[in-house]
């Protein structure tokens, strides 16, 4: 489908342009919590030049999205010749905070974080900056970070729910599988709710939060389906949650419910290609490229060249059962 190829080209162009030290968003996005850190301790180290050590704490490496980030950064470290220490935050903000403290003790030059909790990680970010170490948030905002590189998650939520509403013909009953308290999740729900506000014949019967994984989504979707048997569609905040919701639907014997997620993951591709799956669409991201972009922005900060806009957004594009075979994937 031509639309998909144009979207992929646009994504590639965005990533290339983003390498510029004056990279910025579209100018209409509000500043994230990453903004306003010019007086932080990180600026004391900015301008010191070469990066030799990078610390990175990922939200949950069992999620293929973050595993792809890990792989991308390991390849980048080999190509650029810096040492990288990548840790699994295991969906626990306390664990991530401890990992950032360890990075500080190790004297890393840059910290990258995909936060479990946007606000909860703020104190650890502040400690790193007080030690003169810049912090770049990737995938979701981290309170006080020097910069933030994410997908335009409001747009992702809009695209997912536009696909859902279109498939439902503009009316029906849906469930929302929400997630953890960080901006990527919250923005996707916001984007979806914007679409729903324009489609009053689509009713949200229930909304529950999982922990962004298949197992928790299976449980919360099962509970919602039990309480709300007349359901036509489901919006889930990411692909693992959507796949868990799909399993819940199948176990309940309710096949035919339209399910959408967000990510464009390899598992989602398989589901989209499976005629027995209820998975219908997923706005796609590029996790490895996003992580590398976060590193590039951080390297520029260390060299004394922070981006003109501390929030850098990458546009997603919709992959569905109709165009999945034209999607290159991660």
Nearest to 287 by CA among 191, 147, 150: 150
* Beta strands at 317-320 and 279-284: parallel, antiparallel or unpaired: antiparallel
The residue-averaged pLDDT of 230-251 equals 98
What CATH code would you report for 2-152+286-326? 3.40.50.2300
Residue 23 has pLDDT above 60, yes or no: no
- Model confidence over 182-234: pLDDT tens digits? 999 999 999 999 999 999 999 999 999 999 999 999 999 999 999 999 999 99
- Predicted pLDDT at 48: 55
How far lies 61's CA from each of 85, 110, 210, 258, in Å? Answer: 14, 20, 17, 28
Least confident of 18-22, 285-289, 319-323: 18-22
Residue 28 has pLDDT above 60, yes or no: no
The residue-averaged pLDDT of 257-263 equals 98
Pair 262, 160: CB distance under 8 Å: yes
Domains 2-152+286-326 and 153-284 share a fold: yes
How far lies 178's CA from each of 59, 189, 193, 202, 217, in Å? Answer: 16, 7, 12, 17, 9
Look up residue 263 and give its DSSP letter: B
Compute, in degrees rounded to 10, the torsion defined by CA atoms 300, 303, 307, 308. -160
Residue 2 has pLDDT above 80, yes or no: no
Three-class SS state of 135: strand
Distance CA 56, CA 86 (A): 5
Give the rounded percent of residues in the chain with a pLDDT score beyond 70.
Answer: 85
Banded pLDDT at 95 (limits 50, 70, 90): very high
- Model confidence over 60-94: pLDDT tens digits? 999 999 999 999 999 999 999 999 999 999 999 99
Residue 37 has pLDDT above 70, yes or no: no
Pair 14, 44: CB distance under 8 Å: no
- Predicted pLDDT at 49: 80
Pair 69, 288: CB distance under 8 Å: yes
Look up residue 29 and give its DSSP letter: S
Mean pLDDT for the chain? 89
Compute, in degrees rounded to 10, the torsion defined by CA atoms 239, 136, 328, 244. -10
- Model confidence over 122-175: pLDDT tens digits? 999 999 999 999 999 999 999 999 999 999 999 999 999 999 999 999 999 999
Q: Nearest-5° angle of CA 298, CA 303, CA 307?
A: 55
Count the neighbouring beta carbons within 10 Å of the beta carbon of residue 181. Answer: 16
How far lies 40's CA from each of 90, 213, 272, in Å? Answer: 28, 34, 46
The residue-averaged pLDDT of 98-123 equals 98
Distance CA 109, CA 120 (A): 23
Q: Is the CATH number 3.40.50.300 carried by domain 153-284?
A: no
Query: What residue segments make up the domains of the chain, in order of their start?
Result: 2-152+286-326, 153-284
Q: Any alpha helices (H) in the chain, and if so which ranges?
A: 2-17, 42-45, 64-80, 93-106, 122-130, 153-168, 183-197, 214-227, 239-251, 266-273, 287-302
Distance CA 15, CA 31 (A): 20
Residue 16 has pLDDT above 90, yes or no: no
The residue-averaged pLDDT of 259-266 equals 98
pTM for the full model?
0.82
Nearest to 317 by CA among 308, 328, 307: 328
């Amino acid at each position: 489908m031509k639309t998909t190829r144009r979207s992929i080209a646009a994504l590639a162009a965005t990533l290339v342009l983003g390498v510029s030290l004056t990279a910025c968003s579209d100018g209409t996005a509000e500043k994230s919590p990453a903004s306003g850190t010019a007086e932080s301790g990180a600026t004391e180290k900015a301008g010191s030049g070469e990066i030799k050590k990078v610390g990175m704490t990922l939200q949950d490496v069992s999620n293929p999205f973050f595993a792809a980030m890990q792989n991308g950064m390991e390849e980048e470290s080999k190509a650029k010749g810096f040492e990288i220490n990548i840790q699994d935050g295991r969906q626990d903000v306390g664990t991530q905070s401890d990992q950032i403290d360890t990075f500080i003790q190790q004297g890393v030059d840059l910290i990258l974080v995909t936060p479990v909790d946007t606000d909860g990680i703020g104190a650890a970010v502040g400690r790193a900056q007080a030690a003169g170490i810049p912090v770049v948030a990737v995938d979701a905002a981290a309170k006080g970070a020097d910069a933030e590189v994410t997908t335009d998650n409001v747009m992702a939520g809009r695209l997912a729910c536009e696909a859902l509403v279109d498939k439902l013909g503009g009316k029906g009953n849906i469930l929302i599988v929400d997630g953890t308290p960080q901006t990527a999740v919250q923005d996707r729900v916001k984007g979806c709710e914007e679409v729903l506000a324009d489609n009053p014949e689509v009713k949200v019967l229930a909304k529950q939060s999982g922990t962004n994984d298949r197992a928790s989504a299976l449980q919360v979707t099962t509970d919602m389906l039990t309480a709300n048997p007349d359901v036509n569609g489901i919006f889930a905040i990411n692909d693992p949650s959507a796949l868990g919701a799909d399993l819940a639907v199948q176990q309940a014997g309710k096949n035919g419910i339209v399910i959408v997620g967000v990510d464009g993951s390899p598992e989602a591709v398989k589901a989209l290609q499976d005629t027995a799956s209820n998975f219908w669409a997923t706005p796609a991201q590029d996790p490895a490229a996003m992580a590398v972009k976060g590193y590039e922005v951080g390297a520029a900060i260390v060299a004394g060249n922070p981006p003109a806009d501390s929030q850098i957004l990458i546009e997603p594009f919709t992959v569905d059962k109709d165009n999945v075979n034209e999607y290159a994937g991660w």
